Structures are given as structure tokens and as C-alpha cells.
Amino acid sequence: MTATTDGSTGAVGPRAASASGPTETTIPAAGGDLRVAAERATARSVEHLLGRQDAQGWWKGDLATNVTMDAEDLLLRQFLGVQDARTTAASALFIRGEQRADGTWATFYGGPADLSATIEAYVALRLAGDSPEDPHMARASHWVRGQGGIAGSRVFTRVWLALFGWWKWDDLPELPPEMIFFPKWFPLNIYDFGCWARQTIVPLTIVSAKRPVRPAPFALDELHADAARPNPGKTFAPMTSWDGVFQRLDKALHAYHKVAPRRLRRTAMNAAARWIIERQENDGCWGGIQPPAVYSVIALHLLGYDLDHPIMRAGLESLDRFAVWREDGARMIEACQSPVWDTCLATIALADAGLNPDHPALVKAADWMIGEQIVRPGDWSVRRPGLAPGGWAFEFHNDNYPDIDDTAEVILALRRVRHPDAERLDAAIERGARWNLGMQSRNGAWGAFDADNTSPFPNRLPFCDFGEVIDPPSADVTAHVVEMLAFEGKSHHPGTRRGIEWLLAEQETNGAWFGRWGVNYVYGTGSVVPALTAAGLPASHPAIRRSVAWLESVQNEDGGWGEDLRSYDDEAWIGRGATTASQTAWALLALLAAGERESKAVERGIAWLAGAQREDGSWDEPYFTGTGFPWDFSINYHLYRQVFPLTALGRYLHGEPKPLAVRAGVRKGS
């Protein structure tokens, strides 16, 4: 795929994307020269990664998403009246820099134009003082009108516009705060939603009930396809369909909004506020992610919390910590921060690359990770009330929502470190492994944050038109847990065997596995194969052979691998895309685990990694290879391009990883 200077895609389809990436590479020869090149690349990468470690022991790369984060930050400041010239100018500089030549904004590098992102970016730039007559603004508004205008945007975009009277609250789906009273067994109770959706929906029920409107500083007629009639009438789906049922339910809720008993509504909003406040983290944020924090601040402000209230002050201060100030003066907002995830992956990479297990950097990282273990219950305990805590979260501060994926990978990282306080390390690992096992869903697999979060109803709500709102089990998370349990000597544990059976049943007919949290089938396959072989499946197993054949069939001509985010939406893109360092590494991790070290596919992949490396030991990767929601919300983890190639190079040079000496008491019940 060829990317234009503004980030738009020059290729016409997935096959055109398979030949090359954004970097010209020098490919070393196979044989002895290849090993020398791999050793040199590994040494440089180790040095680079060690140089990025924080003094406290953690690693953290930037987490890039799209300009809606930055636009909504400016809209929030406008709504609260806390805007300042420096922040506005810096945010506008970043937003302008992400605009493409046709006037649009995408949600990932090289991706298609996105209507909602373009509308939000346009409005933010108008708040920053850009004129609708400016050429870049005129191009954007012209494109928006051609796509149906504001009426065609997603619900969350129209919620932001409704806050300023640019859209009617009556024309938005209803979210009644009385939902907070639904018992845990009742359909559409708040625990039926995934934790990220739950944290957003509860404050939005208050916003939906209050329907605030702040005076708009300007009109947005230029964004309506028909300024006189911005909201065409909606045709209901048949009553016999789920969509039809939920559309009519929403109509009934709109009628209820007009007659809701005031005392009941006030009580519901107060209960929702208590729920929000109880989940505020010590750093003032909510769940360690930006969107729930934004909506929680708005909701509490609407209930009378002034901006100097300690809860509000801490919340606003936490939002500032999502900002990344760049050297050119631009300000980018991270949707969340990933220090625990980055640190465990960096530890694994360095250990597998041959760093001594008692190296000070690894010991310091282990110390920091052990200190981040969560030892109090959170929302996950609603479904697992008898389970003792012991997980890890993704972020610096997120005690309410440890996640299963991070916990598995942290344990895999800790097990590679020779820590001077072995008893402390073992105790942390044992707590974490027990918690992970306890979070297994009924079908034998694991989701990311909750067990059995599989209700079919939340996704049907008209309000939920963007991204996943439930947290069903996925192959990548399940694979990481299975791999961890195998490391802990529990390959024959009933929970592990059920996880393996689920993974085998989930394999696609082409031999790949779907990737929920990384793009996409390359990530899923790169996660599952190492887990299955670690758990004892032989390389000759039919499932392993099918996965090898698939990976070989989608290898790019340059020797690497890539997969475009459009593979979530279009089967033609499966396994196809510009070569990236992280996706090449994922494919190599699977092939190496399958015993393919001497294969031509592995040699070509290692050669690409060695040849594409920069002189400072890093790799370039503009393409997004992570996901928040498949297709809808994409992530570029800036450390992925460093940790995964180093892990693959290390395993190529040193073989598959093995845990340090098994200590008595840790692996009982295997």
C-alpha cells in the first residue's frame, strides 16, 4: 500500500497493499549472515528499549487514536467554560495536522474518511477560530454535506452537538437514569455492558435526563445536508425484528421522559452520581480511560458539583494527564495510557532477547509490576463475588477494572525475572493466576474484564451505534491465559484444557484465529499458536499445521506481514496490508512456536525485521495495529513496534521461552 503525504490510501485494494510498507529496507542474506544481522538488530533493540525505561521501572509508549479525543476535549472545555488560548491553539494544531488533502479525517492511518470524526474535528477547529471560508474548512464541510450531513453521524457525535443546541435532544436515543435500579439479573442492567461502556453509559443517563444546552458560539448550518430539515423522519424496522423492538422501546422511553416522576428521577440521578463517585480513581480519573472521565465530569457538574469541588478538581486534573505535548507545539490526547501493558511486554521482550533474568532493569520492572497488583474487589466481582482479587490493570490507576489480558502477560513477565525476594514474587503470581482462573467464562474461554459478559441486548440499543458494548471471550485473551497457565505448570488443569478446546473450536477454516484486541487474524494467530504449543500441543497437530500454511500464504513479497484494519469489515483484506514491524513479529512468534525456525518464511521475516530497523534500534510504524473496538476504534501503540520485533528476534536466536526454575508450592494442581 502506498500512503500519500496526508495519510490517505493510494492503493485501490488489499492485494495492492501486500507488496511494501512505508520504509525502504536492506534485506540481509540467509544463513550465517542472517544470524549476524539478527544478533546485531537484537543488541541495538535491547539498548534502545533499556534507554526508554522510566526510573521507577515502567515503560510507556504513546497511545494514538484519532482526533475525536482532541475535539471532544475542546468541546468539554467550551461546555465547562474552562478553555484557555494555549491549549486551544495546541489542540487545533494537532487536529489540522491530521486532516487529509480532501478535507476529511480518518480514524486510522491510511483509512477511509470518517463522517463523525470529520464533523467533530471541524467543530473543534471552529471553536479554535478557524473560519468556515478557510479552504481546509470549506473542503471539510463540503464533504460532510455530501455524506448526509450531521444527521448521518453517530449518536455520540450528535450528543456533543446537542450540548450546544446544534442538535435536538428529542432526536437522540433515550437513556433513562432509572437503569441504575435494574437488578443484576434483569436485561439491560448496567453490568450487562462491558466495563468501558458501563462507565460511559451511567453518566450519560444523567446527561440524557438533564438535556443541557449551552449557548452555541456560532451556527453549523453548513454541516447540514438540508439546513431547513436536518433530521429526516425515521422508518421503524418490522416489529418482528430485534431492531424494530428496540426502536419502539426507545420511542416509549421518549414518552416516559416527559412524564417521569420527579422524585423517582431525582433519586435515580443521585444513585447514578454515587455510583460514579465510588468509582473515581485515586488520581481523579475513571477507569483510567478518557471518555468515562469526560462524561462523568459533565454529569456531576449538571447535578450541581462546581468546578472547585475536590471530585471535580481531581477529575479535571486527571484529564490533563492524557495530553501529550509534542515538540512542534501540538497537543494530542490519549484515550488511555498503557504502562502496565507496555512494561510486561517490554520485560518479556528483553528476557527473551537474552538479558540476564537478574538484570537490574528487569528486577526494577518486576518490583514496579508487583506494586501495581490490585488486591481489592472491583466491578468484576458482581459476577464472581467469591473470588479473591489479584489482577492487574492496563493503566497507572484503575483499581476497579483489572483485566484478564494484562494479568496473564504480567505473570508471564514476572516468571522470567530472578527477583531477590522470590517469596514476594511467587505470592503475587499465585494470586494473579488464581484470579485469572476464576474469571473463566462458562464456555471455557476468557473475556477482557468480566466473566460471562455476553448479553445480546446492549448492542441492540439505538444509543449503542459505535463499537462493542459487551465483553465476550476472545481468542487472543484466552490464548494469553492458556499460555500463562502452561508456564505455571497447569497445562493439565481442567480450566486450561477447556480453554484449549475452545481455542481449537474457534479456528477459522483458513487456519487463522480472529484478533479482538489486535489487528487482526495475524494477531489472533500470533497469540494462539504459542499458547497451544506451550500447553503441549505438538507442532504436528492439524490446527498448528493449518495456521502455518495460512501465515505462509499471506506473507508479503518483501518477507514481512501486514493486515489492514479493513479486514474487520471486508474479508478481502484478511491477512493483507502493508508490512509492519509488529505484525511481522506476531507472525514470526507463531511460526517459531510451530517449529518453523529453519523455514524460508521465518528467514524472510527475520531478514525484513533486521533490514527495516533504524540505526537507533527502533522501527517505524505509522499503521494502526491495535484496537479498542474492531473497526470502530483503532489504536497505534507506539511501543508495539519495539517490543514485539525484539521478542521475535530473541526467540529466533535463543529458542522458545522457558520459565525460571519451578519453585515448590507455586505449581500445585498442575
* Of 452, 323, 450, nearest in space to 377 by CA: 450
250 tagged catalytic: no
DSSP labels, 453-517? B--SSGGGSTT--SS--SB---HHHHHHHHHHHHHTT-TTSHHHHHHHHHHHHH--TTS----SS
Cα separation, 362 vs 425, whole angstroms:
13
* CA dihedral (139, 144, 149, 151) positive or negative: negative
Greatest CA separation for the chain: 79
627: phi then psi, degrees, rounded to nearest 5: -135, 145
Pair 108, 630: CB distance under 8 Å:
no
Strands 63-64 vs 323-325: parallel, antiparallel or unpaired: unpaired
Q: Which of 39, 46, 27 minimizes the C-alpha distance to 653? A: 39
Judge whether 106 and 7 are in contact, CB under 8 Å.
yes
**What does the alpha-carbon distance between residue 277 and residue 38 come to, in Å, rounded to a whole number?**
51
Query: Which one-letter DSSP state was computed for residue 151?
Result: G
Alpha-carbon distance 528 to 589, whole Å?
10
Pairing of strands 626-629, 63-64: unpaired
Cα-based distances in Å from 289 to 197, 296, 336: 11, 11, 4
3-state secondary structure of 189: coil
Please state, in angstroms and rounded to a whole number, the distance separating the CA atoms of residues 367 and 58: 9
- Name which of 531, 528, 533, 506 is nearest 518 in CA terms: 528
Residue matched to cell numbers 478446546: 501
Give the CA-trace dihedral at 551, 553, 554, 555, to 10 degrees.
80
Q: Is the dihedral of CA 539, 540, 546, 548 positive or negative?
A: positive
Where do the H-state alpha helices sit in 218-303? 242-259, 262-278, 290-302
From 342, 405, 450, 564, the catalytic residue: 405
Classify each residue of 174-185 as buried b or exposed e, where b means 16 or more C-beta atoms within 10 Å of its C-beta.
bbbbbbbeeeee
* Residue 200 and residue 208 in contact, taking contact as beta carbons nearer than 8 Å: no
Residues in the chain: 670
d(CA 308, CA 647): 47
Point out the residues that are catalytic.
405
